[in-house]
Every structure is written in C-alpha cells, then in structure tokens.
Structure 1
C-alpha cells in the first residue's frame, strides 16, 4: 500500500512538473491526464485482482486520480452529502462534459455508496484502464445494440434492489460543453422505474477552465452538487416523460446556479 501511494505520488509530481504553467499546451495536459490515469490504474491492478468486480477496488485509483487532478491545477468540492442515503440503491444521474469527469467520479466514489458505473463497451479496451474499470465493477454496454444494452441494464436493476447499489450514469449520452443540458436518454429511467428505486441527480458545474475548441486547459475549480433523491415508487412507464422532465428541470436549474457561482470565483 505504501509503495503504491509513493508511485502515485511520483506520477503526480511528474504531472505537476510537466504542466507547471497555465500556458502549457492543451494536448500536453490532456495527454498527462489520460496517460496518468491509466498508469495509476496499472499500479493498482495487483491490489484489485484479489476481489474482482468489487466497487471498493476503485478507492485507491480514485485517490490517485484526485492527486493527479490537483497536480494539473484542477480541484473539486462535493456538496450535498446530507442527501445521500446508503440504506437503499439509486440511479445516480450526472451531467457529462469531458474526460475530466473521471475526476468528478473520483470525488464521488468514496461518498456515494456501493457504486457501479455504466460505460460504453469501447472503454473496456483502453490499455490498463479498461481492465481496472472491469475490476471495480463497471458495467459495459454495447450501445450499437439496443437489445443487448437493455438486457444488461435489466440485470443491473436487480443489483440495485438486492445489493443497494448506486448505478452511476450520464443521461445525456454524450459529452456536452454547452450552457444547457442535452435531452436525456430514456435508458436510466427504465432502470429506475423497473427497480422502483429513487433517482439521485448530481450536477457538476461547467469546466470554465477547459476549452477543447480553443485548446485551453487552465487551473480551475468545479463544484459537485448532490441533489435530493427523486422518488419513483408508484410510477409506471406511462409516467416516464414526466419523470424525465422533472429530473432534467431540477438538474438544469442547479447547473445554471452553480455556473453563475463558479464563474464569479
């Protein structure tokens, strides 16, 4: 454990050295983050193989990812911890902006409960990271096959009920850097209604420090707000559109609020 922490620390120091300036190239910082994340997972794999598919396997890589982000000048804070209920499962919905969302997940993982992430199947083939993600229980879906995706997610809905899992999903379905959220996909809401578990909205403020079009990656801060659960008990498929609209409105209002606050900082 000590050796692992030391190696992660060395990786973060290297990242800090290579990105010492806010003027460091965007591509360089993104490469450091992506390669550094894979390296952290590779270092931790020997510690994870003894309990495969266990969400606790991600705790050390999550710590390493937080240190890597700090070395790159990115900090995050989590608010709304009082809204977390660990005695039951939930579908946790998070807005999706960038690969940097990994940092947001790294902050959420130790506090949200027995977490499982849903990711596209392609991530499984990322060197080192894909295998590590499998080891900590990531659920990989084939988005090109609707039937396969639904069958996989239906199995996971049982885990929500039986093991009180928190299933983390990005309802927009793709990365979005706009000031408003994209339309939500129905998949997460099918799971919530099928398992009759609550929806836990989580909103991450806009990454003003990151701009792929302008190739900017400056030091910056983001706020992660965990909102109160939205119950689904008693809801059926006929209520899905209403549930989607309610969830999106709540998250969009919070997104705008956080962006105004974070922009002033």
Structure 2
C-alpha cells in the first residue's frame, strides 16, 4: 500500500511542478535522456543554484523511473510539502549532526543497489546562484564507492539570464539540463574519493560553462563584437551537443565557447540585462 502511495505522491508532485514551470515561463530542455532512462542503481549528483532546481528535477522525474532525493531535515516540518516529500520517499538528513546524517545514508545505501534506485544528491550542499560550481561534499561519493555503483552527473545551465536573488528578479527563461555518461566506481576505494570527486566536478563545470554559453548567446557581451559573439554561440551549441551525447564529446571542448560565458558573468552590464528580460 505504501508503495502505491509513494508512486501517487511522486506523480502528483511532478504534475504540480510542471504547472508551476509553465506559470512562471520556464522551459527545460533535457539532453542525455538515455542515461537517466537506464534501469540501474546510481548516485545522481547535480549542481545547486536555486530552489528552482526542484522544479527542474520533477520536470524530468518521469524519465528516471525509480528515484529518491536527499533533503535536509527541516523540509519535513514544512507541511504539507514535508509530508508529501516523506510519502514520496525522500531521505531526510540532519546536516548539523554529521554522524547521524552518515548513519541515515548508510542505512539506505544497500537498498538503493538492491532495488536499482537512483539517489539524487546536490553535492554542493547549499544553493548558490553565483554562476559557478562550488566545492563538493564527499557524502555522495562515499556512498557510490561503498556499493560500487556509478555516479551520474546532471548539470543545470546558468540561471543568470532570468534570476537574480538579491534583486528579487525572476523572469521567463530557458534551462538546459545535461545528463552526462555514468562514471564507474568499480574497483575504487575510499582512497580514491578525492580523485573521483575532482573528476566529476571538472566534467560538470565544463558542461556548465558550455551550456550556459549557449543559453547566453543571444545576449551580446559588452566587450565583444557582434560577429565574435555569434561565433562563440555557434561553437557552444555544437560542443554542448557533443558533450550531451557522448563522453567522447569532451575532446571537442573549445576555449572560445567557455570564454563567452566567462565574459558575460563578469560583465558590468549583467544587472541591466536582467532588468529588461
């Protein structure tokens, strides 16, 4: 009975988030769908910019089949959403009591592998819309190595064109969600955690810059000429598609594609662009 309640709540949450997304004018484009569709246990690690990430996650929820999420304990007390989240199978952890959090995650780790469940984690911990990926916490990587299950990176492109937390600006916008090929942990030990974490973060950071450059290509950075901005945007589209479709796409990384994103992020005109969207 509990299983059917969980499925119902998950479907309800996904439907509700779809409607909210349409209401605020956000458009989500999923790439690398085949990696999410695969029936396997894995630890999904995603960058965390805003609460909007939850909308994006539930917009692709139907693709993932069996999936659950690690959330901070405080969310449980935000009823009725906390109750719905608990019924949907979310895993609540006490971030203040680190040892208790580890015990909770260890208790569910074996079940994840046995039942081929995908566990969604935001390894940055705290959401920060600063235009870059922040250092990762090790919990998700400990879990993946402990059960020898793959890491599945998911990258949301930058929200900078439509969201400004400090100025309370939220406009319609387009977000590219890229699922990268799974990264195996077979044969790895606890001694390999730092290397694995750096590898995953580097790949996600590269993809973040490329997909962000693509979504930003219609905005011309002040210090670039129009023809150069167009070239960078075209390169970003081609490279981002290659990255989304195969791990070999990383060989096609181009400095110019990432540079268009970096120049926008540091431009003095960013705030004025946000105001006019």
TM-score range, shorter chain: 0.7 to 0.9
Q: CA-to-partner distance for each residue in 1:109-150, whole Å, 9 max, x for gaps?
A: 111231010000000011210000000000000011111111
Bigger radius of gyration: 2
Q: Residue 179 of structure 1: CA displacement?
A: 2.0
| Alignment CA distance shift 1:85-1:218 (3 Å) | closer
Q: Residue 57 of structure 1: CA displacement?
A: 2.7
Q: Does residue 130 in structure 1 map to residue 92 in structure 2?
A: no
| Alignment CA distance shift 1:84-1:102 (3 Å) | closer
Q: Residue 50 of structure 1: CA displacement?
A: 7.6
3-state SS in 2 of match to 1:183: coil
Structure 1 residue aligned with 2:123: 171
Aligned runs of 1:1-265 on 2, under 5 Å?
51-52=4-5, 54-55=6-7, 57-84=9-36, 86-207=38-159, 208-265=161-218
| TM-score of the two chains, using structure 2 as the length reference | 0.75
d(CA) in 2 for partners of 1:108, 1:59: 11
| TM-score of the two chains, using structure 1 as the length reference | 0.78
Q: CA-to-partner distance for each residue in 1:64-102, whole Å, 9 max, x for gaps?
A: 211111111112111111223533200000100111111
- C-alpha RMSD over aligned residues: 1.6
Unmatched 5+ residue regions in structure 2?
A: 219-277
Larger RCO, structures 1/2 (Cα 8 Å, 6+ apart): 1
3-state SS in 2 of match to 1:232: coil
d(CA) in 2 for partners of 1:56, 1:50: 9
d(CA) in 2 for partners of 1:177, 1:87: 32
Unmatched 5+ residue regions in structure 1?
A: 1-47
3-state SS in 1 of match to 2:128: coil
| Alignment CA distance shift 1:154-1:228 (3 Å) | same
3-state SS in 1 of match to 2:27: strand
3-state SS in 1 of match to 2:29: strand
